[in-house]
Structure 1
Amino acid sequence: MHVVVVTIGSAGDLFPFLWMGRTLRARGHRVDFLAPVQHEPWVRQAGLDFHGLPADPAVLDHPDLWHPTRGLAVVWKATRPAMIEVPTFVDALDPDEPRILLVHPLALPEAQLCRDTQPLMKIAAAYLAPSNLPTVHDPLLLGPWRVPPWVPHPVRRLLWRGLAAALIDPVALPDVNAARAAAGQPPVKNLIRYLSHIPDLSITLFPEWFAPTQPDWPRPLLRCGFPLYDPAPDAAPSPALEAFLASGERPVVFTPGTGNRQARRYFEDAASAARELGLRAVFLTPYREQLPEVLPAGTLWQDYVPLRSLLPQAAALVHHGGIGTTAEALRAGTPQLVVPLAHDQFDNAARVEALGVGMSLHARRLNAARLTQALRELLGREAPARRASEVAARLAAPPDATALCLRLEFLLSA
């Protein structure tokens, strides 16, 4: 079986697709992996055939990248130069060879254009987080706004349509329809409805207990667990980290995500909270320049540490709410304080609270005093740590890779 994998974004977007690519390769299938050029070392290390897609690192400095409502437009525009390369790559392949295009949801418009020219092709969409699958059912968050449970479904549908008409369609449809017009295809009027009908198979990369299947999610649907991929599972911690962890109490880990270069204020507040509470802390970011010049006593900066090895030794994790980071904390049984900024992070934060494994604090309301109070409450309660340990037991076994392969093989053979 020939599988063409297409993804975009940061390491949090990349790693789940690497897990799927390696799984398929191990079963003997041919895998071509299309991803932003900066991810080439990770893809090569995974043993997959890499094809680089253009990426502009300047997007990480865009002032609206982490805005709760304007962030989507920044991400969409940033991914278009890469996505228009996908049909070019696929058009060079043998049209008489059946294959699967396994894609990130933002690549679905281009996947549709590929299938128009290669009818033997099947499309599988992999959804990394529950909020990638629009629904009118609870918990319903429209960006940072939570819709109360008593709001009836017809009103929820109107709210979704209004949100799409105001914030999604004006940004995305001009690009989608321009590409469709160039291919001789008619325009589409509603992006969300259009995307939901493209895949031949939809795959959720999160378990049922984290987000139950909703009646209005696309079908056919394959449920998978968190694909917790570690590019270097046996890597030893740095000597500095090893010595730090051995020298005192468990630290609190702070990270705004590997792709966040706009977290200076976040780390200033984190430093103030650590100082006020007398906490030992680990600050995780590849960008040292956004940290305070002088860190509080008992604080260590690391540019990158696999969360799989660090979090079991942490008292708590304060993070942005990316689905990969959230899942790693769940696996480690580490209490979480989620500080969501944009994208899927608000929904993930709500699910962390619903599971009882942590708390959330909107990034727009973040300051040193609120962060200090939230950490004091989280660390002072036994319930989050106990509940986190119970949830971690559900992630003791990896997701069923065989079921994923069998379903994709069946899709192509059908």
Structure 2
Amino acid sequence: MAFNGVLLKILIGAAGSLGDTLPFVALGLALQQRGHDVHLFASESYAGHAAGLPFTPVMGVAAHEALLHDPRVTDPRHGFTLLSEAFATTLPRAFEAMCAEVVPGQTLAVGSTLSFASRLLKDALGVPTTTVHLAPSVFRSVHQPPHLGPYGVLDKLPALLQRGAWWLIDRLVLDRLFTRPFNAYRRQLGLAPVSRMFDRWLHQADVTLGMFPPWFAPPQPDWPAGLVCTGFPLYDNGEVHPLPTELEAFLAAGEPPVGFTSGTANATSHAFFAASAAACALSGRRGLLITKAGAQLPSPLPPGVLHVPYAPFSQLLPRLAAFVHHGGIGTTSQALHAGVPQLVRPMAYDQFDNAQHVLRLGLGVRLLPVEYAPHAVARALDRLIADSSLQARCAAVASLCRADGAAIDVACNAVLSSRDRAWRAFAGHGAKT
């Protein structure tokens, strides 16, 4: 139903991989079911996953594919440079497309962490806005800092040095790559510049959501005030799209296989899939290689190893013996929900921090790309699959995920509350002035 009897226009901006986009499809569908007019803005490559929501592409297929096929995109030293270049290109397009859909006084905006166009609607037009963070690594804390990079250097520093390290990261890296071009565009719109946008500004929408449960990443005393942790937004359209016939036949033909994926945000994981196939051959285990970019795969594949371009994880993962993946938050949450043991091979971005949470909960192991060799993978899988106590912990966490099933409803309520929060903030500001 409509919010307080009012039909609202809700503009949703999603930036990132398919796993980063699907939660916003779920959120959009739920808001649409409540009677609101929802419009999704994302990469054209994901138009087929919009589930009927009105959709506007803000990045073309060619540009998206070029990003995926650039090996630097998974390199922690160069990945942010590529993302910032894509950001500078798509920001004006996304903002202009969203502006064209605004109905004054009847519009809300929702944006993912890097969907800065959504935040611009708040600053430029006063549109009540919700920022949605899918992964906890965006929240800086001196109590439990995010695990950055392979070795998590911030974990070992005292609070004062942590703050200094963040200042340097902002000034030397993030401000140069993101804040400067963002402020240049803000100037074109007549808006004041922002400072250290990844520090506090990132969390200063009318509503800020963390779409993960507190048991996965416990909120810290220095996280943003008013943050709403919803639980995982588990959605992949699996109810609509069952497993392909060939995959069903493969699963039914023998012991549960091990699944392998490097995520949808890169197409340069040749070494990963070669080592994965070789590990299956060494251990005698059946394997399932999941990627749309089949050119990454070795040829021929060993006996008992199958390639599938895509499968809904909600349908597939409960039928695996173990799951090897990159540590993206969408993939990680689906693995937690399925109760499957995890071998995480993080490469960049939030993946190291997500992997650390999996390790802390005792639900899997981690191998860095430099460690990911066939014998090491085979040994790690043997340990995972034979560990009955780990299997029990995975089952317990799967039950927790099922208990958190109201995440999308919680998120919908929070998004709709942004209208009242924005008005209260405006009224409070007016009273002070």
TM-score range, shorter chain: over 0.9
In the other structure, the counterpart of 1:52 is: 57
8 Å CA contact 1:31–1:49 kept in 2: the answer is yes
Distance 1:134 1:81 in 2: 27
In the other structure, the counterpart of 2:84 is: 76
Q: CA deviation at 1:130?
A: 0.6
Secondary structure at the aligned position of 2:55 is classed as strand
8 Å CA contact 2:209–2:228 kept in 1: the answer is yes
8 Å CA contact 2:9–2:103 kept in 1: the answer is no
In the other structure, the counterpart of 1:359 is: 365
The counterpart of 1:314, out of the listed 316, 320, 324, is 320
8 Å CA contact 2:148–2:154 kept in 1: the answer is no
Residues 112 and 249 from structure 1, CA distance in 2 versus in 1: closer, same or farther, beyond 3 angstroms?
Answer: closer
The amino acid that maps onto 2:241 is A
Structure 2 stretches lacking a partner, 5+ long = 1-7, 422-433
Distance 1:155 1:350 in 2: 22
| CA-to-aligned-CA distance 1:341-394 (integer Å, 9 cap, x gap) | 011100010000111110111123322232222223222322221110110011
The counterpart of 1:129, out of the listed 135, 155, 158, is 135
Moved more, 316-325 or 193-202: 193-202
Distance 2:274 2:101 in 1: 51
Secondary structure at the aligned position of 1:192 is classed as coil
Residues 90 and 288 from structure 1, CA distance in 2 versus in 1: closer, same or farther, beyond 3 angstroms?
Answer: closer
Secondary structure at the aligned position of 1:116 is classed as helix
In the other structure, the counterpart of 2:380 is: 374
8 Å CA contact 1:15–1:230 kept in 2: the answer is yes
Q: Kindly indicate whether residue 205 of structure 2 is the aligned counterpart of residue 199 of structure 1.
A: yes
8 Å CA contact 1:341–1:364 kept in 2: the answer is no
Q: Kindly indicate whether residue 39 of structure 2 is the aligned counterpart of residue 32 of structure 1.
A: yes
In the other structure, the counterpart of 1:144 is: 150
Percent identity of paired positions between Structure 1 and Structure 2: 34
In the other structure, the counterpart of 1:215 is: 221
Q: Kindly indicate whether residue 28 of structure 2 is the aligned counterpart of residue 21 of structure 1.
A: yes
8 Å CA contact 1:73–1:168 kept in 2: the answer is no
Q: CA deviation at 1:151?
A: 3.1
8 Å CA contact 2:139–2:146 kept in 1: the answer is no
TM-score, structure 1 as length reference: 0.93
Aligned residue runs from structure 1 range 6-405, under 5 A:
6-43=13-50, 46-55=51-60, 56=63, 57-93=65-101, 96-108=104-116, 110-119=117-126, 121-147=127-153, 151-193=157-199, 195-397=201-403, 398-405=405-412
Moved more, 189-198 or 311-320: 189-198
The alignment covers a number of residue pairs equal to 410
Residues 158 and 290 from structure 1, CA distance in 2 versus in 1: closer, same or farther, beyond 3 angstroms?
Answer: same
Moved more, 398-407 or 58-67: 398-407
TM-score, structure 2 as length reference: 0.90
Q: CA deviation at 1:197?
A: 5.0
Secondary structure at the aligned position of 1:337 is classed as strand
Q: CA deviation at 1:306?
A: 1.0
Residues 2 and 139 from structure 1, CA distance in 2 versus in 1: closer, same or farther, beyond 3 angstroms?
Answer: same
Distance 1:213 1:183 in 2: 35
Moved more, 8-17 or 183-192: 183-192
Secondary structure at the aligned position of 1:106 is classed as coil
Moved more, 151-160 or 202-211: 151-160
